[in-house]
Amino acid sequence: MSVQSNVEVHSEWGIVSARQAGRNLAKELGFGGVDQARITTAISELARNIYLYAEKGEIVLEGIEKKEAGGVHRGLRIVAKDQGPGIKSVREVMEDGYTTSGGLGAGLPGVKRLMDEFDIDSITGEGTVITVVKWLR
């Protein structure tokens, strides 16, 4: 199973399309209502960051699997990429209470808490890649 979809983000419409694609995939993979909402919220936040700070970029969604002692685990991976200005201090934006736009509890730390795995790479002047995964319980 390797459903993959790429959504371009350069407007608020792009954010909605990314959410839609994420929700469809989450449903397909068997995520429940609350986890679907978490996944789409994470996508919203990531896509908004692209739209606000990098102007354009893309969200890549993919169903993934990993083998574990208990059997095969399925999950959903979101990769948010842009070629924007990058983040000067990743440590700072990962700090709770640091918000430039998100408001209460949102922003990257909020995304990290909604998901099971979180990874960020950012180079000033080159852009940012954020990868998050939610595993099916």
Partner 1 sequence: MADSYRLMQEQYVKILKTYLEDKNEIGLYQAQQFSKKVLENQISPEEVVSLHIEALEQFYPDLPQGAWDSFDFLIEIMMGYGMAYREHQILRDKQKELESEINVAANMQQTFLPDEVPDVEELDIGVISVPASKMSGDYYHFVKDNNGCVGVAIADIIGKGVPAALCMSMIKYGMDSLPEQRLQPGALLENLNRVVEQNVASNMFITMMYGSYDPRVHHFYYSGAGHEPGFFYNRAEDTFEELYAKGLVLGLNRDTQFREYHKKIEPGDFIVLLSDGVTECRTAEGFIEREELTRLIHQYSDLSAQEIVNNVFYQLEKLQGFSLRDDFSLIILRRKV
Element (H, E) at 23: helix 12-29
Residues 82, 109, 115, 130: which binds partner 1 (CB under 8 A)? 109
Rank residues 24 and 121 by Cβ distance to partner 1 and give the closer one. Answer: 24
Give me the sign of the Cα torsion angle 27, 109, 79, 1: negative
Contact with partner 1 (CB under 8 A) among 28, 96, 116, 117: 96
Measured from the CB atom, the residue of 10 and 112 that comes closer to partner 1 is 112
Q: Are 45 and 110 in contact (CB under 8 A)?
A: yes
* Per CB under 8 A, 97 contacts partner 1: yes
Dig out the tokens for 136 from the structure: 């099916």
With contacts defined by CB under 8 A, name the span among 3-11, 35-43, 78-86, 117-125 that binds partner 1.
35-43
Residue number, 37 or 90, with CB nearest to partner 1: 37
The piece of 36-44, 56-64, 82-90, 118-126 that touches partner 1 (CB under 8 A) is 36-44
Closest CA to 80 of 15, 128, 29: 128
Mention every residue, 6+ apart, whose C-beta is less than 8 A from residue 88. 124
